[in-house]
Structure 1
Amino acid sequence: MLADYHVHTEFSDDSQELMEEQVKKAIDLGLDELCITDHVDYGVKKDWTEGDIVYRPGDGIGLAIEEQQPLANVDYPAYFAKFRRLRDEFSREINLRCGLEFGVQTGTIHRYEELFARYEQELDFVLLSIHQVENKEFWNQEFQQGRTQKEYNERYYQEMYDVIKAFKHYSVLAHVNLISRYDKQGKYPFAAVRDMVAEILKLAIADGKGIELNTSSWHYGLDDTMPSRDILRLYKDLGGKIITIGSDAHSTKYLADHMRDAWEILVNEIGFAKIYTFAHGEPIAHDF
């Protein structure tokens, strides 16, 4: 089973790749299944219906306004309509699944409850990500500023635990140790946060949720998988079984990137026996 379960298109604020191009590339690569998971990040981005959409600072220099990247969530009616059209058009060539990536914070849970209730029937899959904490971003160091390495790592994992304790409308935890990608202080010892991560994974497992192996670690040049092998092993040792593979591709260049390397790690190093896909929110196990 070749399935990429973390893919972005023009409906994400940080991608300009057309959905149809991601689908065509997936077919060319021989994928059995593709799940589109465009971004929703309440707290730092608006829905299109709210108006007054702003554009990324510093972006779009010399570009027409329509070519700039808006800081907005998915245009839901257009997104679902286009997905349905492409699903029908390419149904004989690939199995397409519809997802979203929810960048949840404790203070925005109510927005995601409302969103999920509105579009539950459209969704096969929901990634849950911690992209911001207190509406502060990681990539620009706003979240880390004024905190020690210990403080921002622990605050990140505490937010993740608090979110999944209260919010259950998701399928899989995405890139569990995302904070490490933006840690300019160097690699933080896993032992220092192991107990916190274990509590997160225990709760996810008890709720019937999974985690993903996000292959973007290869093209970002990270020194380990995302999440790390330590986290993958811990999840399995605690009884976790549901795992997906996602490229986090924002362009066709990285679609299904290093998927077979991910397979090798999951099967031969960690010992997983199955890979999972989803339909209407239900996990489906497949042999590797």
Structure 2
Amino acid sequence: MLYDYHLHSEFSDDSHTPMEAQIERGIALGLDEMCFTDHVDYGIKKDWTDAGEIGWRGGDGIGTPKSSLEPLTNVHYPEYFAKLYRMKRTYGDKIAIKNGLEFGIQVHTIPQYEKLLQDYGDQLDFVLCSIHQVEDKEFWTGDFMKGRTQDEYNERYYQEMLDVVKAFKGYDVLAHVDLIARYDPAGPIAFEKIQGILTEIFKIVIADGKGIELNTSSWHYGLKDTTPARDILKLYRSLGGKVLTMGSDAHKPEFLADHMQDAQTILRDLGFTEIYTFDHHNPIAHAL
């Protein structure tokens, strides 16, 4: 079975790709199923319905008209779900399309995600839990790492993840567990330094019936290992972890389902025998 359970469209602030383009690419590649997981990042972004000024990106920052800028907002939920249902009517005889969101959660934003699930949870098949920021500081800009040693910012990142999975249960899969490694100026930290806290995290994830993902964006980012790294995947499996999804994290059609066959081979080599899809938050196992 071929599927992609981590992809973005024009409803994510960092993508311009229409859903149609992702879906048609998926059909051309022979995918059986795909799940859109557009971004929600409370703490650094507002909802369209929030009062007050929203943030903007783009332009030269000096008198650039807002008409030429891009709003830094979360998914426009009513339009998002309405379009997903239109896409299912249009393409549903060729590919299964699932409703998902990617929650960029921090501990202090959990109440906002709980409210979001109250309002729209019945329309969702799948929720990714991602640690995209800590203390409202971005990794990709380097702001989160400033003033900290490699040990300190890695410890803080994984502590936030641990605190989130302890307190928030409204997700299905923990996404790109070692995302911090993508942006670490010192390179990936030694596995032994994070093994203990990852063990704590995975024990909670497994006990809660949740899973993790293999995110194939590591290939187009040119990383030396998978995301998460093989040692992390081995640890998850050794602790009894079974639920595992695969996603490309594609923001453009050319990266959709990127290296999925390679990813499946790696998982088999590590001893995994199943991959999972979701229907209304219910995990469905498929033989690798």
Match of 1:100 in 2: 101
Give the SS at the match of 2:192. Answer: helix
Q: TM-score, normalised by structure 1?
A: 0.96
**AA partner of residue 45 (structure 1):** K
How far has the Cα of 1:70 moved from its partner? 1.7
SS in 2 for 1:176: coil
Asked if 2 retains the 8 angstrom alpha-carbon contact of 1:247 and 1:257, the reply is yes
Partners of 2:189 and 2:94 lie apart in 1 by: 44
- CA shift, 1:88, in A, is 1.5
Residues of 1 paired with 2:242 and 2:60: CA distance? 41
Counterpart for residue 25 of structure 2: 25
Counterpart check, 1:111 vs 2:90: no
The 8 Å contact of residues 213 and 246 in structure 1, kept in 2 or not, is answered as yes
- Residue equivalent to 2:158: 157
Secondary structure of 1:98's match?
Answer: strand
Distance in structure 1 (CA, Å) of the matches to 2:208 and 2:18: 34
Q: Which amino acid aligns with 1:36?
A: F
CA–CA separation in structure 1 for the residues paired with 2:224 and 2:64: 36
- Distance, in Å, in 1 between the alignment partners of 2:244 and 2:259 is 16
* 8 Å contact kept, 1:60–1:67: no
In the TM superposition, residue 119 of structure 1 has moved relative to its aligned partner by: 0.7
Aligned CA RMSD, in angstroms, stands at 1.6
Instruction: For residues 20-67 of structure 1, give each alpha carbon's deviation from its aligned partner in whole angstroms, at most 9, with x where no partner exists.
Output: 111111111100000000000000000011152221255799998556
Distance in 2 (alpha carbons) for counterparts of 1:118 and 1:156: 29
Partners of 1:4 and 1:246 within 8 A in 2:
yes
TM-score (norm 2): 0.96
Greater mean deviation of Cα atoms: 36-45 or 83-92: 83-92
Distance in 2 of aligned mates of 1:60 and 1:7: 30
* C-alpha separation in 2, matches of 1:243 and 1:66: 42
Q: Which residue of 2 aligns with 1:280?
A: 280
Residues 59 and 132 from structure 1, CA distance in 2 versus in 1: closer, same or farther, beyond 3 angstroms? farther
The correspondence of residues 202-221 of structure 1 with structure 2, limited to 5 A, is 202-221=203-222
- The alignment partner of 1:180 has SS state of helix
SS in 1 for 2:80: helix
Amino acid at match of 2:177: V
Contact 1:178 1:227 (C-alpha < 8 Å) held by counterparts: yes
After superposition, residues 230-269 of structure 1 pair within 5 angstroms as: 230-268=231-269
Task: Tell me how far 1:115 sits from its aligned partner.
Answer: 0.3
AA matched with 1:171: D
Structure 1 distance, partners of 2:162, 2:55, is 31
User: Quick one: distance in 2 between partners of 1:252 and 1:59?
Assistant: 28
Code of the aligned partner of 1:133: V
1:232 and 1:181 mapped to 2: Cα distance? 16
The residue number in structure 1 matching 2:49 is 49
Q: Deviations over 1:133-164 (max 9, x none)?
A: 01011011111111111000000000000001
Q: Which residue of 2 aligns with 1:70?
A: 71
Supply the distance in 2 between the matched residues of 1:178 and 1:135 (Cα, whole angstroms).
16
Write the letter of the residue equivalent to 1:180: A
Label 1:63 to 1:255 Cα distance change in 2 as closer, same or farther (>3 A): farther
Measure how far apart 1:117 and its partner are: 1.2
* Shift, 1:186, TM fit: 2.1
Alpha carbons 1:126, 1:171 under 8 Å: kept: yes
Give 1:287 shift: 1.2
Give the stretch that moved more between structures: 217-226 or 182-191: 182-191
Q: Can you give the 5+ residue segments of structure 1 that lack an aligned partner in the other structure? A: none
CA distance in 2, matches of 1:260, 1:81: 32
Could you say which residue in structure 2 is the equivalent of 1:186?
A: 187
Q: 1:61 to 1:274 in 2, by over 3 A?
A: farther
How far apart in 2 are the matches of 1:83 and 1:94? 13
Residue 89 of structure 1 aligns with which residue?
Answer: 90
2:71 partner SS:
coil
With over 3 angstroms needed to count, the CA separation of the structure-2 counterparts of 1:251 and 1:59, relative to structure 1, is: farther
User: Which residue of structure 1 aligns with residue 135 of structure 2?
Assistant: 134
- List aligned pairs for 1:218-229, cutoff 5 A: 218-229=219-230
Q: Taking every aligned residue pair, what percent have the same amino acid on both sides? A: 61
Query: Number of residues paired by the alignment?
Result: 287
In the alignment, structure 2 segments of 5+ residues that lack a partner are none
CA contact under 8 A between 1:60 and 1:69: conserved in structure 2? Answer: no
